[in-house]
Amino acid sequence: MNSSRQISKVMTNDGTMSRVDPASPAADTRAAVTLDELLDLLDLSCVGEPTGRVSHWIGQPQQHPAGRLFGGLLLAQALVAAGRGIRTDQRIISLQADFVGGVPTDRPLHWEVTVVSDAPSLATRRSRLLDDTGEELFGAVTRWATVRDDLPSYSSARRAPAPDPETLPDHADRFGSDERIPPWWRLRRPIHFRHAVAPPYVTLAEPNDRQTTFFRATGPLPDDAVLRAALVAYVSDMSILEASFLALGSARHKPGARILSLTHALTFHAAADLTEWHQFDCRVESIAHGRAHGVGELFDAAGRHVATASQVGLVKTPTADRE
């Protein structure tokens, strides 16, 4: 089985995370996590037997100035919870998730993992995040399979032309001092996050339905296939629908603008090593009735196609655009 990193957790005496006013400066500061802190958040604690038909896991939240958990952490923890009961010769091949309700940031996350199926070459798990009453807030189905490097492979996807990521500023360096942008989008992140072209956060840009970003871990990563896949899930929710605002000719962070994830899917074509730069080419496929469908293709530094992401989300343009 895949074993987790053993990291101690800091909680209050009653086992919950201390509450921080989402509007306070403390909330802004606590929302910025280092890579080591993110890896700690992905070190889930098992309650009971980890390999039973149903297992239970406890994760800790990442703070957010808006008091609502970042969807990428939910994707990542759901993957880790499922992966800890998977054979070591199997790797994640897909994840399909539904964001059912808002998840608060002031309490531990209770995960329930159900074994849906186990076959010699393929396993399926269902991860559900439950609130204190047992209601589902988030759900994901993951599939795991043996690796067959002896079989042929093919991908029609190609990287978009883009500058060298080493020549681009980090997201926090580009926007860190711009108080027109909400705090969450100005914080330094556990992953280097760089836009190929400055996004239309507060100023308009030429209409376009595509956007390229780059990701790289800020430090070394454990030799743990589950954790490395979880980091891909985490970053896949950072910018996949931003191109919606480009397509609509709107500014992302003007008053009234909003993105809310509804569904998210990931297909893993190959193992990703985020200690190296990866290019994420995103495009918006459609926008209708206030909802957008976006697709992102992830490539490693050599141009190998390693993952495809797809998301449907609620998209609201700035209030001024709707008046």
Position 137 scores a pLDDT of 96
Q: Under a CB-based contact definition with an 8 Å cutoff, are residues 97 and 129 in contact?
A: no
Position 297 scores a pLDDT of 98
SS3 151: coil
pLDDT tens for each residue of the chain, 323 residues long: 554 443 333 333 233 333 334 344 444 445 578 999 999 999 999 998 888 899 999 999 998 777 789 999 999 999 999 999 999 899 999 999 999 998 988 899 999 999 999 998 999 999 999 999 999 999 999 999 998 888 888 999 999 999 999 999 998 898 888 888 888 888 889 999 999 998 888 877 788 899 999 999 999 999 999 999 999 999 999 999 999 999 998 888 888 888 999 999 999 999 999 999 999 999 999 999 999 999 999 999 999 999 999 999 999 987 656 55
Position 34 scores a pLDDT of 94
Position 317 scores a pLDDT of 84
Distance CA(122)–CA(143), nearest Å, equals 7
> How many Cβ atoms sit within 10 Å of the Cβ of residue 198?
12
Distance CA(203)–CA(206), nearest Å, equals 10
The distance of Cα 93 from the centroid of its chain, to the nearest Å, equals 16
DSSP-derived secondary structure letter, 61:
P
Number of H helices, E strands in the chain: 6, 12
Model pTM score = 0.88
Contacts of 219 (CB under 8 A, 6+ apart): 35, 36
Q: Which domains does the chain have, with CATH numbers?
A: 25-148+167-322 (2.40.160.210)
> How many Cβ atoms sit within 10 Å of the Cβ of residue 203?
11
Position 319 scores a pLDDT of 60
Position 318 scores a pLDDT of 79
Distance CA(15)–CA(108), nearest Å, equals 8
Position 184 scores a pLDDT of 80
Distance CA(236)–CA(73), nearest Å, equals 10
Position 303 scores a pLDDT of 97
